[in-house]
Amino acid sequence: MSEVDPADVIARARSFAETELAPRAAEFDREERLPHDVVRRMADEGFLGASIPAKWGGLGLDPLAYGELTEVIGKACASTRALLTVHTSIVATTLLELASKRLKEKYLTALARGEKIGCFALSEENAGSDAAAVETTYTRKGDTFVLNGRKKWTSFAGIADLFLVIASDNGVTSAFVVERDMPGVETRPKSGFLGNRATHIAEVAFADVEVPAENLIAGIGAGFGFVVNTALLHGRYSIAWAGVALAQAALEEMCSYATRREQFGVKIGTQQLVQKMVADAVTNVAAARELCRRAGRFLAPRNADAAMETNIAKYFSSTIAQRATSDAVQVLGGNGCWSGYPAERLFREAKILEIIEGTSQLQQVMIADFGYKKYARKNQSQ
Amino acid sequence: MHDEAVVNMADVTVADYAANIRAYLRENMTAFKDVELDDEDNIFERGFFTSLFAMQLLHYVESTFDVEVPDDYIMLRNFSSVRRLADMVAELKRTAGE
């Protein structure tokens, strides 16, 4: 197999994003669906297996290159980027890191090539931030596990072939790969969301679904501590880059508008209060991108500090994305509140990032705990 | 004599693993509790860590001791105390022929 050049992958992604995604992103958002041709193209280009090693059918990009790819796609279309987050970062990467060789052979190559689409079935009515509280159950039955329960909203469940499902047996949480075609699996599309509208969100019900024992990921009881945390680590890394993408898009919108729009006989970009918003966006985008790269450098060798570095990047990036997109709406004024311009969509998409893959408040709790451990003086008499 | 030397060597190695693991856990324990950590303590059941820390421990074990933890070893029990972690590392090293 020929060596993949990351720069070539990024260039192809940029061309695809600018010519085919960005012009259609508003349509995807309005119609609340990602057309099949877009998913197919993402697969054919190899993007859906971008971070998966060539051995398993992927492009083998390192975390830094994969992050840049995420930014390029995310700047053009948040829902298409969400496919990378869910399918590639969360499902495929978690299988790569934790699944048995048998399970990888069964599913990973098909996922990396985009022949099958994966989704992450975690959230439930009573299990949001408290993900360990899942009420979907599993019980052992011979060579199978039997799953029962309901997942409230699962991105891409409407089109996915495979579900990475988190379930509990009297508090012992485990993770399974469930196929859509297994008897007892049902999905029901949901709509009406603030953002990520084209991500085919669906409710998923499992009624006595018999899953082969070999579809267990890692060991019994590894569901929360290992599988969920691995999935969310890679999900957060992707969301961190998604924040950079939206903030960059917002920055370009506000700069383009401010240098064109005239009020009171002058371009509004010459007003110092507008300049403040632009200056903050320029600075914050640069800072967020560097934090993402820093997290990527920790992720590459699976450094134990990668999780905290990723939390920091995700927290900062999603926060400044919300700020930059809000400022873009402000600079565009009435036009910023109208779907004829991208600013309002960017604003809606950015808010989502402060909630998914761990709310900003949960990130703050974890980052503060890290701060106390790292920075509290050991000798408190000082 | 030869057997005894081998056993001693192995003990020293496991003790080294345990010391490294103990230091790492202490460094990462909450700043608000001044507690004793025994090698047999279940760090999750005693509330020293939540299971969120398990994945970080997995990465720490693999990068620090240069081992690959097979998927069937990935369960909380193997990561729940200094002793269990050190024993697992020793076993993985043995399996790898080191």
Region A188-207: what's the mean pLDDT? 97
Mean pLDDT across chain A, nearest whole number? 96
How many Cα atoms sit within 13 Å of A170 on the Cβ side? 2
Region B56-74: what's the mean pLDDT? 93
Q: Is the minimum CB–CB distance between A132 and chain B shorter than 8 Å?
A: yes
Residue of higher predicted confidence among A333 and A153: A333
Region B45-65: what's the mean pLDDT? 90
Lowest-pLDDT range of A32-41, A107-116, A369-378, B54-63:
A369-378
Own/partner long-range contacts of A287-291 (Cβ < 8 Å, ≥24 apart): A287/A316, A287/A320, A288/A240, A288/A243, A288/A244, A288/A247, A288/A313, A288/A316, A288/A317, A288/A320, A288/A321, A289/A71, A289/A244, A291/A240, A291/A316, A291/A317
- Rounded to a whole number, what is the distance in Å from the CA of A79 to chain B's nearest CA? 28
pLDDT of residue A259: 98
* Gap between the Cα atoms of A374 and A310, Å rounded: 16
* Gap between the Cα atoms of B78 and B80, Å rounded: 6
Q: What's the token pair of residue A35? A: 């057309």
pLDDT of residue A147: 98
Binding-face residues of A in 200-259 toward B, CB within 8 A:
217-222, 224-226, 229-230, 233
Q: Is the minimum CB–CB distance between A368 and chain B shorter than 8 Å?
A: no
Q: B1 pLDDT exceeds 50?
A: no
Scored b (16 or more CB within 10 A) or e, A166-204 reads bbbeeeebbbbbbbbeeeebebeebeeeebbbbbbbbbb
- Tell me, yes or no, if A18 is annotated catalytic: no
* Gap between the Cα atoms of A321 and A247, Å rounded: 5
Q: What's the token pair of residue A9? A: 């992958």
Own/partner long-range contacts of A368-372 (Cβ < 8 Å, ≥24 apart): A369/B30, A369/B31, A370/A308, A370/A311, A372/B30, A372/B31, A372/B32
Mean pLDDT across chain B, nearest whole number? 85
* Gap between the Cα atoms of A356 and A132, Å rounded: 16
- Tally Cβ neighbours within 10 Å of residue B41: 17
Angle between helix B82-95 and B52-65 (nearest 10):
40
Out of B27, B53, B75, closest to residue A222 by CB: B75
Q: B27 pLDDT exceeds 70?
A: yes
- How sure is the predictor about B31, in pLDDT bands with cuts at 50, 70 and 90? confident
Cβ distance A330 to A374 under 8 Å? no
Q: B62 pLDDT exceeds 80?
A: yes
Cβ distance A93 to A236 under 8 Å? no
* Gap between the Cα atoms of B89 and B12, Å rounded: 13
Check A219 against B73: CB less than 8 A apart: yes
Check B76 against A225: CB less than 8 A apart: yes
- How sure is the predictor about A189, in pLDDT bands with cuts at 50, 70 and 90? very high
Collapsed DSSP state (helix, strand, coil) of residue A156? coil
Cβ burial of A268 (10 Å; 0-12, 13-18, 19+) is buried
- How sure is the predictor about A210, in pLDDT bands with cuts at 50, 70 and 90? very high
- Rounded to a whole number, what is the distance in Å from the CA of A32 to chain B's nearest CA? 34
Q: Which residues on adjacent β-strands are paired with residue A206?
A: A149, A185
Question: Which of A214, A215, A229 is the mutation pick for testing B, counting most B CBs within 10 A?
Answer: A229
Binding-face residues of A in 304-363 toward B, CB within 8 A:
304, 306-307
- Name the pTM for this structure: 0.93
- How sure is the predictor about A379, in pLDDT bands with cuts at 50, 70 and 90? low
Cβ distance A45 to A82 under 8 Å? no
Cβ burial of A222 (10 Å; 0-12, 13-18, 19+) is buried
Check B31 against A372: CB less than 8 A apart: yes
Check A218 against B74: CB less than 8 A apart: yes
* Gap between the Cα atoms of A218 and A336, Å rounded: 48
Cβ distance A261 to A274 under 8 Å? no
- Rounded to a whole number, what is the distance in Å from the CA of B58 to chain A's nearest CA? 8
Region B25-50: what's the mean pLDDT? 86
pLDDT of residue B12: 63
pLDDT of residue A301: 82
pLDDT of residue B3: 45
Contacts of A302 in chain B (CB under 8 A): 59, 62-63
Cβ distance A277 to A352 under 8 Å? no
Reported as a single tens digit per residue, the pLDDT across A219-244 is 999 988 999 999 999 999 999 999 99
Q: B24 pLDDT exceeds 50?
A: yes
pLDDT of residue B6: 45
Please name the helix (run of DSSP H) or strand (run of DSSP E) that holds residue A282, with its range, or none. helix A272-299
Reference A287, options A324, A262, A254; nearest CA is: A324
pLDDT of residue A268: 98
Lowest-pLDDT range of A49-63, A84-98, B62-76:
B62-76
Q: Is the minimum CB–CB distance between B71 and chain A shorter than 8 Å?
A: yes
Lowest-pLDDT range of A266-280, A316-330, B42-56:
B42-56
* Gap between the Cα atoms of A97 and B55, Å rounded: 11
Region A148-176: what's the mean pLDDT? 96
pLDDT of residue A39: 98
* Gap between the Cα atoms of A242 and A70, Å rounded: 7
Q: What's the token pair of residue A211? A: 């899953």
Check B59 against A306: CB less than 8 A apart: yes
* Gap between the Cα atoms of A4 and A51, Å rounded: 12
Q: What angle do CA A243, A246, A247 make, to 5 degrees?
A: 80
- Rounded to a whole number, what is the distance in Å from the CA of A133 to chain B's nearest CA? 13
pLDDT of residue A144: 98
Q: A150 pLDDT exceeds 60?
A: yes
Binding-face residues of B in 21-40 toward A, CB within 8 A:
27-32
Out of B53, B60, B72, closest to residue A219 by CB: B72
Relative to beta strand A216-217, strand A172-179 is: antiparallel
* DSSP tally for chain B: helices H, then strands E: 3, 0
Check A373 against B58: CB less than 8 A apart: no
Q: What angle do CA A233, A235, A240 make, to 5 degrees?
A: 95
Contacts of B76 in chain A (CB under 8 A): 221-222, 225
